[in-house]
Amino acid sequence: MSSVDEDFMRLALDLAEQAALQDEVPVGAVIVADGKVVGRGFNQRESQRNPLCHAEISAIDGAAKELGHWRLSECTMYVTLEPCIMCVGAILQARVSRLVFGCLDAKAGAVESLYRLCEDRRLNHQLPAVGGVLADQAGTLLSEFFSRLRARKRESKIGERWPSG
């Protein structure tokens, strides 16, 4: 793991924190070409009411617009959480050259946890993936978000059972 990888992952973590502030699952992503951020995104499924609004998809869209083409073959993606099947599919279709992610996703991860799509030779593109970069920070952000969400749900159920007044 390089300090450059950590620096760009910190930018992705900043975006994940923005998602959390908007009550979105805190996942952030940046795409880098020649040392410059060309795409960025964070989860917006709730606010956009759209299952496609994952951080990775937003970052790919931004990078393609910034670079003026869909092939991101000279780009590295940094994302705080191991991407899901949909996002790995998009990363492969965009021909991203390298993937760096934070923590594993035991329930939906498609790079190491459940599937290993980045290295599947049956697909027409493979890419190197490095996991675990600032994984503790990314995992803590997710854990704290879901703890707050569970606490809010408990509080609202208590209010339903015992109305005030």
State the catalytic residues. 56
Q: Could you tell me which residues come within 8 angstroms of residue 55 by beta carbon, excluding any fewer than 6 positions away?
A: 12, 15, 16, 19, 27, 28, 29, 41, 42, 43, 79, 80
Other C-beta atoms lying within 10 Å of the C-beta of residue 67:
16
Gap between the terminal Cα atoms of the chain: 57
Contact 41, 56 (CB under 8 A): yes
Other C-beta atoms lying within 10 Å of the C-beta of residue 92:
18
